[in-house]
């Protein structure tokens, strides 16, 4: 687990991109043992202009200005205790922001920053916070509904890193963070999934969403080709 940052530190990242009205996302990279791991932040804008920030990343000045022009950061979702590195510095930057974490991860997240709630009230039915079944209440997700369809935002449950090379790429493929198709990483299966049947049922339930458009994952590419089929395949891997 990466050490929590104590001051605003910008690590390598790309540009914030609006992928649907009301949804921004950006990918960066973080150095881990054996490899540089891609990581993603996703932002949902509520109907009143407030922002839900999922798996926060410290961005450079221009991208932060764009983010702040997009809306007011109001909720900081720390989707698991493995994704708390930037949480404290975001709270310092935005003191009024509500920190959200799933109940099972709350204690470890609070080693870094106070958690306000595990059941946030966004005041907008288009954005839903979910504590994912089968993860011991340790993993959070978002469902974001727009006029173009539904975006499912996952954290560590699914890896979808493509074009990984070298020793680091070999390591990511061996652990199922990387490959030719979305997979549940081996370390996640070993340490996070405590009820395969419950998680399998949740994947299948998401697969039935009639307007599912894409799946965003913290580590890897967007799943926007047959996302429902990808969820069914992931469910089958748990059978």
pLDDT category of residue 18 using cuts at 50, 70 and 90? very high
- Return the CATH class of domain 17-236: alpha beta
- Cα–Cα distance between 124 and 55 in angstroms, integer? 20
Q: In what order do the strands lie in the sheet with 17-20?
A: 17-20, 23-32, 35-45, 50-54, 72-77, 98-100
What is the model's pTM?
0.95
pLDDT category of residue 35 using cuts at 50, 70 and 90? confident
- Cα–Cα distance between 118 and 102 in angstroms, integer? 5
Span 88-117, pLDDT tens digits: 999 999 999 999 999 999 999 999 999 999
Mean pLDDT of the chain: 94
Span 166-199, pLDDT tens digits: 877 778 888 888 788 999 999 999 999 999 999 9
Each domain of the chain, given as residue ranges in start order, spans: 17-236
Residue 121 class from Cβ within 10 Å (0-12 exposed, 13-18 middle, 19+ buried)? Answer: exposed
The answer to whether residues 61 and 113 touch, using CB atoms and an 8 Å cutoff, is no
Could you say which DSSP state residue 201 is in? H
The answer to whether residues 78 and 115 touch, using CB atoms and an 8 Å cutoff, is yes
Q: Is the pLDDT of residue 2 over 90?
A: no
């Amino acid at each position: 687990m990466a050490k929590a940052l104590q001051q605003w530190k910008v690590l390598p990242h790309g540009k914030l991109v609006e992928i649907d009205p009301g949804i921004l996302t950006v990918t960066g990279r973080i150095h881990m043992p054996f490899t540089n791991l891609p990581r993603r932040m996703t932002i949902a804008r509520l109907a009143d202009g407030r922002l839900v920030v999922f798996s926060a990343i410290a961005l450079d000045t221009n991208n932060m200005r764009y983010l702040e022009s997009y809306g007011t950061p109001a909720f900081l979702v720390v989707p698991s205790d493995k994704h708390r590195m930037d949480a404290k510095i975001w709270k310092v930057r935005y003191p009024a922001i509500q920190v959200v974490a799933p109940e099972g991860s709350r204690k470890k997240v609070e080693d870094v920053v106070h958690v306000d709630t595990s059941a946030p009230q966004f005041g907008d039915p288009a954005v839903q916070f979910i504590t994912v079944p089968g993860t011991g209440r340790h993993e959070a997700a978002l469902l974001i509904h727009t006029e173009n369809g539904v975006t499912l935002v996952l954290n560590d449950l699914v890896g979808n890193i493509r074009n990984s090379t070298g020793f680091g790429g070999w390591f990511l493929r061996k652990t199922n963070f990387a490959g030719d198709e979305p997979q549940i990483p081996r370390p996640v299966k070993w340490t996070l999934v405590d009820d395969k049947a419950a998680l399998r049922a949740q994947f299948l339930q998401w697969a039935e969403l009639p307007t599912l458009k894409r799946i965003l994952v913290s580590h890897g590419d967007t799943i926007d080709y047959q996302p429902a089929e990808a969820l069914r395949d992931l469910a089958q891997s748990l059978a």
